Amino acid sequence: MTASDTSAASLEHLREHGFALLERMILIRQFESRVQALYAEQEMRTPVHLCIGQEAVPSAVCSCLRDADHIFSSHRCHGHYMAKGGDLNRLAAELYCRSEGCSGGKGGSMHIVDVERGVCGTTAIVGGSVPIALGAGLASSLRRDGGVSVAFFGDGASEEGTFHESLNIAALKTLPVIFVQENNLYATSSHVRNRQAYDGGASLARGYGMPACRIDGNDAVAVHQAALEAVARARRGEGPSFIECLTYRWMDHVGAGDGLEKGYRSREEWDDWVRRCPVKALEERIVEAGVADSGQIAAVYERVNGRVDEAFAFGKASPWPGAMTLSENV
């Protein structure tokens, strides 16, 4: 699998998929920005790991999937849930830890689910979703239902032992699993070069005998191309693929600030990545290619903002879970 195709193919791809991708990305951006804006009210009493700056990866990968395909994610999961079509109201309600939240207020920000949309669950243990995704792939492979299972995880997850065990099993058993690594350079405040002797997850995946690429994770079109190829391969029963996406989180590891005052990353680095905003980049390309004009893009923002307003109003107004629910579903 090559990282990115010729610019002509890319342009064609942009024409075909660009606008739909942008809509998903704007939804994630606006929703996460709303969480950020409202977090100081202290009504969302759960630790939030925002994915502002990383919207291209979930949007591009999930737009290659069907509802029946399974995804598994980490603590930084809101984008994956939304991109896969998860119910927005129930996500907001879960952030307020209310009864109508997607996890009934039991999960909070790090444990979200939407079974109908194939959002199977998310884990707060780094790397925890990777082996679980294998199992869903195994089920699809035994049933021959053409289903695909995707594990979303960060750069940090490839340091865990189970990551390596999982890659081996997936390749060995030719499972329809796609490993999507969002390499945002940091795990909490630790830079990837202080944690990894290897050069990213894709370099390891090749050693396990699966196609692997490292691409610009802020280029939605490139991620979409790579994901389409990986999904097609998995559906054909040819086994797993690995996509490492270089990206960057604008916010601090957890919470609503950018964390720049902590000094673990420089203002220059941050500015540089903000300039490479995946949403802005796609908007510009779309306008440039004549796929849509700025008025049409503004209309997307307006529509999305309305949806986000509605979701947060729903979340805030949702009743608290009853104490009786505490012992349900243990």
Partner 1 sequence: MPWTRMLADGYANGALPGADSTQRMLTYSQALREAQAMAMAADPNVIVMGEGVDDPGGIFGSTLGLHTEFGPDRCFDLPIAENASTGMALGAAVAGLRPIYVHMRMDFMLMGMDQLVNHVAKWRYMTNGAQKAPLVIRALIGRGWGSAAQHSQSLQGMFMQVPGLKIVMPVTPMDAKGLLLSAIADDGPVLCVEHRWLYSRQGHTPEEMYFVPLGKGAVLRPGRDVTICALSQMVCEALAAAEELAAEGIEAEVLDMRSVKPLDEDLLLESVSRTGRLVVADTGNVMAGWSAEVAALVHEKAFDQLRGPVQRIGLPDIPTPASCVLEDAFYPGKEDIKAGVHRLLARDMAPNRKTGGIHG
Ligand X SMILES: Cc1ncc(C[n+]2csc(CCOP(=O)(O)OP(=O)(O)O)c2C)c(N)n1
| Partner that binds at residue 295, options Mg ion, ligand X, partner 1, none, CB closer than 5 to 8 Å by kind | none
At CA 279, angle to CA 111 and CA 89, rounded to 5?
35
Interface with partner 1, residue 109, by CB under 8 A: yes
Interface with Mg ion, residue 184, by CB under 5 A: yes
Contact mark string toward partner 1, 132..161, x via CB under 8 A: ------------------------xx-xxx
Interface with ligand X, residue 156, by CB under 6 A: yes
Interface with Mg ion, residue 158, by CB under 5 A: no
Considering all CA atoms of the chain, what is the largest pairwise distance in Å, rounded to the nearest integer?
A: 59
Separation CA 49–CA 156 (nearest Å): 14
CB of 308: closest distance to partner 1 in angstroms? 21
SS3 12: helix
Name the segment binding ligand X (CB under 6 A); options: 37-45, 123-131, 233-241, 280-288. Answer: 123-131
CB of 264: closest distance to Mg ion in angstroms? 12
Cβ-based neighbour number of residue 59 at 10 Å: 30
What is the layout of strands, in order, in the sheet containing 212-216? Answer: 119-122, 70-73, 149-154, 177-183, 241-246, 212-216
The answer to whether residues 86 and 112 touch, using CB atoms and an 8 Å cutoff, is yes
Interface with partner 1, residue 102, by CB under 8 A: no
Q: Which listed residue (14, 113, 126, 226) binds ligand X by CB under 6 A? A: 126
Q: What are phi and psi of 296, to 5 degrees?
A: -65, -35
The answer to whether residues 178 and 150 touch, using CB atoms and an 8 Å cutoff, is yes
Among left, alpha and beta (phi > 0; psi -120 to 50; other), residue 174 is left
> What are the Cα distances from residue 312, in Å, to 45, 96, 139?
14, 9, 36
Joined tokens for residue 84: 């896969």
Contact mark string toward partner 1, 214..253, x via CB under 8 A: ----------------------------------------
Q: Which is nearer to partner 1, 127 or 239 (CB)?
A: 127
Q: Which listed residue (154, 211, 217, 239) binds Mg ion by CB under 5 A? A: 154
Beta bridge partners of 122: 73
The answer to whether residues 53 and 277 touch, using CB atoms and an 8 Å cutoff, is yes
Interface with partner 1, residue 315, by CB under 8 A: no
Q: Which is nearer to partner 1, 69 or 182 (CB)?
A: 182
Residues 173-192 that bind partner 1 (CB under 8 A): 187-190
Q: Which is nearer to partner 1, 220 or 311 (CB)?
A: 311
Measured N-to-C along each axis, helices 278-288 and 220-235 cross at an angle, to the nearest 10 degrees, of: 90
| Partner that binds at residue 76, options ligand X, Mg ion, partner 1, none, CB closer than 5 to 8 Å by kind | ligand X
Strands 119-122 and 241-246, bridge-based pairing: unpaired
Question: Using CB under 8 A as the criterion, which residues of the chain lie in contact with partner 1 when the complex forms?
Answer: 45-47, 97-98, 103, 105-111, 123-128, 156-157, 159-161, 187-190, 194-196, 262-264, 320-321, 323, 325-327, 330
Question: Using CB under 5 A as the criterion, which residues of the chain lie in contact with Mg ion when the complex forms?
Answer: 154-155, 184, 187
